[in-house]
Structure 1
């Protein structure tokens, strides 16, 4: 029995059904529930150390917004929202406030127990986490809280969302702060370009 095949079966028969019941769509090992201004995103990440006999996997979550792609990434947004292109990216272990969580499948594993643990974490941890983000304002406030807690994310992301959704004073104050705190000339240049794109002034 090849454990990668067992994992594919679990994803197909046990995990996907739970996501689809919640309104998510699937592409590969990525899931997304799309709203008008953003999307909830999940990626199933397999360990790079996986073998035929032992497989480990985990869940990564995020909130996708296409508003970052023109001003920041300078490209068209992908047609399918993915966790890797999201903000507020959190692994299941961070949502559970536990050390790095990997679900393990081996030749001696109790597969029913693994399935129960995965289903429990989806229903009691991941879905309730997403339920806190019902509007783009929830997303913006979530990013603001994380930043205040010292959580590192590109500071331009919140500036772009502030400006896009009419928080003009907040956007203006942030862009000036980002420019002042930039240590490299290339960072200052990018911040100036972003300000111009967004219709903000560097003072």
Structure 2
């Protein structure tokens, strides 16, 4: 059996049930737990170097917030919440503190790999998502990561401050971000965004 098919089997028999029992919906290799304000998202990413005989893959995680499609993103929202359209996009390897990818070859003990995946999902990925009960929790973690020098699109937090009614914080951040922008196109986008969410520049 090709390793690609073994991966499909692992997803079907081990990974999908772990998320399904927690209330996650599945689309392809994407999973999402939908709350009213946001969704927890997981994607199974396969290495682009995969072959029939050797397959490597890992989890990507994120928090999908529809609010951002109304203001920051300039394209229609997807029908299913995807990790690629999320904030706080964190690789599963960062959450498990294990840099290596999951690997399937003819020599792999598949049952052992399934046990490792089960442990990582139940002890690291799912608990990571449980800390988010509201947009304010998402903001808190984004602020902490920014303090640690891990930056995302600078406008995400501005919009999220607005969404929870923290207009002064949003205004202060918009002004600070705008003053640091170098390109005219970036400044033009920021002015348009400020206009859309009721801030001044």
Whether these two folds match at TM > 0.5 is yes
Q: TM-score, normalised by structure 2?
A: 0.97
**Runs of 4+ with >3 A deviation:** none
Could you give the per-residue CA deviations for residues 79-109 of structure 1, whole angstroms, max 9, x where no partner exists?
Answer: 200000000000011112343x310010011
Q: Within 5 Å, which residues of 2 pair with 1:1-203? A: 1-99=1-99, 101-202=100-201
Cα distance between partner residues in 2 of 1:61 and 1:125: 11
Q: How far apart are residue 25 of structure 1 and its match?
A: 0.3
Matched residues, number: 201
Structure 2 gap ranges (5+): none
Residue deviations 1:18-68, cap 9 Å, x none?
100011000000000000000000000011111111111100000000111
User: What is the CA-CA distance between 1:76 and the residue it aligns to?
Assistant: 2.6
| RMSD across aligned positions (CA) | 0.9
Q: CA deviation at 1:145?
A: 1.0
1:134-159 CA distance string (max 9 Å, x none): 11110111111111111010010010
1:114-140 per-position Cα deviation (integer Å, ceiling 9, x unaligned): 101100000001011001111111011
Task: List runs of 5+ in structure 1 lacking aligned partners.
Answer: none
SS in 2 for 1:73: coil
- In the alignment, the residues of structure 1 paired with residue 54 and residue 2 of structure 2 have an alpha-carbon distance, to the nearest angstrom, of 9
Return the alpha-carbon distance in structure 1 between the equivalents of residues 155 and 97 of structure 2.
Answer: 27
SS at match of 1:89: strand
Residue 70 of structure 1, CA deviation = 1.9
